[in-house]
Amino acid sequence: MSAAAAPYSFESLRATRVGDSVLHVELNRPEKRNAMNKTLWREMVECFDRVAQDSDFRVVVISGAGKMFTAGIDLMDMAGDMLQSEETDVARKAWKLRNTILRFQESFSAIEKCPKPVIAAIHSACIGGGIDLITACDIRLCSQDAWFQVKEVDIGMAADVGTLQRLPKVIGNASLVNELVYTARKMMADEAMSCGLVSRVFQGKEALLEGAFHLASEIASKSPLAVQGSKLNMIYSRDHSVKEGLDYIATWNMSMLQTEDLVKSAQAAMEKKTPKDITYSKL
The count of other CB atoms within 10 Å of the CB of residue 67 is 12
20 is an active site residue? no
132 is an active site residue? yes
Rounded mean pLDDT, 143-157? 97
The DSSP code for 32 is G
- Residues 25 and 15: beta-carbon distance below 8 Å: yes
pLDDT value for 79: 72
pLDDT above 50: residue 98? yes
pLDDT value for 14: 97
Of 87 and 68, more confident: 68
Which of the residues 152, 162, 229, 261 is marked catalytic? 152
pLDDT value for 81: 65
In 3D, which of 19, 52, 51 has the Cα closest to residue 221? 19
Tell me the pTM. Answer: 0.95
pLDDT value for 88: 84
Partners of 101 in beta bridges: none
Least confident of 219-223, 235-239, 262-266: 262-266
Rounded mean pLDDT, 38-48? 97
160 is an active site residue? yes
145 is an active site residue? no
Q: Please give the Cα distance from 5 to 120 (Å, whole number).
A: 19
pLDDT value for 80: 66
